[in-house]
Homo-oligomer: A and B are copies of this chain.
Amino acid sequence: MSESEKFGQLCALVKETAYLKSTLASLEWDQQTYMPVGAGAFRAEQITFLAGEIHRRETDQRVGDLLGELSSSDLAADNQSDSGATITGLKREYDKKIKLPESLVKAQAKASAIGQQVWIDARKNDDFKSFEPNLNEIFNLKKEQAEAVGYEECPYDALLDDFEPHAKTSEVAAALEGLRQELVPLVAAISESSSRPDTSVLKRNYPTEAQRRFGREASEKIGFDYTRGRLDVTHHPFCTELGPGDVRITTRFDESFFNTSFFGTLHEAGHGIYEQGLRTDFYGLPPGAFCSLGIHESQSRLWENLVGRSEGFWNFFYTRAVEIFPGALADVQQHDFYKAINNVQPSLIRVEADEATYDLHIIIRFQIEQAIINGELEIADLPGAWNEKYEQYLGITPPDDANGCLQDIHWSAGLVGYFPTYSLGNLHASQMYEAAEKELGNLQGMFSDGNFSPLRKWLNENVHQRGQTLTAQQLGEKVSGTKLSQEALMRHLNDKLAPIYALSPI
């Protein structure tokens, strides 16, 4: 068999696995949207079965043999070519997966299934103690995983790699520490400012149907393609890809708060535009797959914040907003609305945080999970460490654990190493936005005219279409011409917030 025949066979095998993965995603989407409550037990069995089939295929000896033969071939010579990215990307994943003992995979699946159940009650009852043994087991299994997979510098590297491949903890920590050092004084200055936007206008009555219409119009206008996607309602908003022409986003509505659904929809649409922009000729393979969770998040945060909370965006959309919500907005000036949606206020809950404080929530989690994995922090001491950091970075102390260290689902679901990708996304987004503006000219002017396609096309060409032919770090540097740092994000925040809060130039 020739090398190119072997390559074809490898791609065909992986494509079959991709059919099963998108099938599994369909079942999960349905579970969140339309599944009747009585179907839960069977759906869990069905999903477990499919997950097992997928794992069996991913660790199939035939795949391993083909990868072994191909990885020294000409086709693998250039990592950034389609064939090279495919072979090295698949081999990297394969080598990682076969290092995981089946007993560990099963123990993790079980621990997180039970963990999530216990966590739900623990949060409801503000009872950290009841969750402590589960969390302890989950983190211990994560440590085992790190040892099984191996790492260069520290165990956390191995966990981070599941979400941000190729990233090193030390590099991420350096970037986020740079960010923290500038964010803390900015947030403190804002807290002390006597200027305060009137956010009560966002808490008037916004009827659900009108919100649905407006969210759909705006997400379509920025480029989410509804012939290849849908918007549905779920308790927790998300974006999932069920096939190359099938990207589903969800939102939730709060009739007495404008932001929840509108900015949530722009956020998920940003994820969706990325998924819709991936190459279909390599569907299910590295050149047609998203680069990393950090890059994924860069796309959602870019459309949500850098576009959706900008003056240009509302120059175009505000008249329509007043038309759709006359009861809430008829007496509100555009600039007052703009200030309200950009309000900064230290708060306890990450998912409700504003653009400036959000990354401090992330940095706290990132530091804490590293400390646990390194053995520097015991699970029993987690609530104390959490509250201390909130006081230190945000100037507020959680009154209880439900609004503190129990607020997020991630750890209970075994997602350790995931949090920093949110902040990496914010850093990438600002750098990309600056690079796009440098090349395309005045973006705010385009937005004011309702012209979002130049930015979307630029992102498509420079980010989406590159898939995994570059690592996230390579992609970020290629797109922005600079290493990842806090500089672009801080420029953006200072430029936007200084006038709103009458801050002295920093």
Q: Which residues of B contact A45 (CB under 8 A)?
A: 19
Query: In the complex, how many angstroms separate the beta carbon of A243 from the nearest chain B beta carbon?
Result: 4
A16 to B22, CA, bound (A): 19
Copies in the complex: 2
The answer to whether A27 and B23 touch (CB under 8 A), given A46-B243, A246-B42, is yes
A30 touches which of B30, B46, B225 (Cβ 8 Å): B30
Residues 223-273 of A contacting B (Cβ, < 8 Å): 225-230, 232, 242-246
The answer to whether A34 and B245 touch (CB under 8 A), given A19-B46, A26-B26, A46-B22, is no
User: Contact at B225–A38, with CB atoms within 8 Å?
Assistant: yes
User: Contact at B30–A226, with CB atoms within 8 Å?
Assistant: no
Q: Which residues of B contact A36 (CB under 8 A)?
A: 226-230, 245-246
A506 at interface (Cβ–Cβ under 8 A)? no
The answer to whether A245 and B41 touch (CB under 8 A), given A49-B19, A226-B36, is yes
A43 touches which of B34, B49, B50, B246 (Cβ 8 Å): B246
A254 to B435, CA, bound (A): 54
Q: Which residues of B contact A244 (CB under 8 A)?
A: 42
The answer to whether A42 and B230 touch (CB under 8 A), given A23-B50, A26-B27, is no
Residues 45-86 of A contacting B (Cβ, < 8 Å): 45-46, 49-50
User: Contact at B243–A37, with CB atoms within 8 Å?
Assistant: no
Residues 159-179 of A contacting B (Cβ, < 8 Å): none
User: Contact at A23–B46, with CB atoms within 8 Å?
Assistant: yes
Nearest opposing residue in chain B for A24, CB measure: B23
Q: Which residues of B contact A229 (CB under 8 A)?
A: 36, 38
A40 to B245, CA, bound (A): 8
Q: Which residues of B contact A19 (CB under 8 A)?
A: 45-46, 49-50
A228 touches which of B30, B38, B49, B227 (Cβ 8 Å): B38
Query: In the complex, how many angstroms separate the beta carbon of A244 from the nearest chain B beta carbon?
Result: 5
The answer to whether A39 and B225 touch (CB under 8 A), given A23-B27, A46-B23, A230-B34, is no
Q: Which residues of B contact A37 (CB under 8 A)?
A: 227
Nearest opposing residue in chain B for A43, CB measure: B243
Which among A16, A38, A242 has the greatest number of chain B C-beta atoms within 10 A?
Answer: A38
A380 at interface (Cβ–Cβ under 8 A)? no
Q: Which residues of B contact A113 (CB under 8 A)?
A: none
A377 at interface (Cβ–Cβ under 8 A)? no
User: Contact at B227–A42, with CB atoms within 8 Å?
Assistant: no
Q: Which residues of B contact A42 (CB under 8 A)?
A: 22, 243-246, 283
A99 to B340, CA, bound (A): 71
A188 at interface (Cβ–Cβ under 8 A)? no
A351 at interface (Cβ–Cβ under 8 A)? no
A114 at interface (Cβ–Cβ under 8 A)? no
Query: In the complex, how many angstroms separate the beta carbon of A418 from the nearest chain B beta carbon?
Result: 27
Q: Which residues of B contact A228 (CB under 8 A)?
A: 36, 38-39
Nearest opposing residue in chain B for A18, CB measure: B46
A36 to B242, CA, bound (A): 11
Nearest opposing residue in chain B for A48, CB measure: B19
A227 to B37, CA, bound (A): 6
Query: In the complex, how many angstroms separate the beta carbon of A56 from the nearest chain B beta carbon?
Result: 12
A245 to B41, CA, bound (A): 8
A35 at interface (Cβ–Cβ under 8 A)? yes
User: Contact at A30–B26, with CB atoms within 8 Å?
Assistant: yes
A38 to B272, CA, bound (A): 14
A242 touches which of B39, B245, B246 (Cβ 8 Å): B39
Nearest opposing residue in chain B for A227, CB measure: B38
Q: Which residues of B contact A232 (CB under 8 A)?
A: 34
Query: In the complex, how many angstroms separate the beta carbon of A279 from the nearest chain B beta carbon?
Result: 14
User: Contact at B230–A38, with CB atoms within 8 Å?
Assistant: no
- Give the 4 A-B residue pairs with the shortest CB-CB distance, closest first: A39-B246, A38-B228, A38-B245, A42-B243
Add 7 more A-B contacts to A34-B230, A42-B245, A42-B283 (CB < 8 A): A19-B46, A22-B42, A38-B227, A39-B242, A39-B243, A39-B245, A41-B245
Can you list 26 A-B contacts (CB < 8 A)?
A19-B46, A19-B50, A22-B46, A23-B23, A26-B27, A34-B230, A34-B232, A36-B227, A36-B228, A36-B229, A36-B246, A38-B225, A38-B227, A38-B228, A38-B229, A38-B245, A38-B246, A39-B242, A39-B245, A39-B246, A41-B245, A42-B245, A42-B246, A42-B283, A43-B243, A43-B246
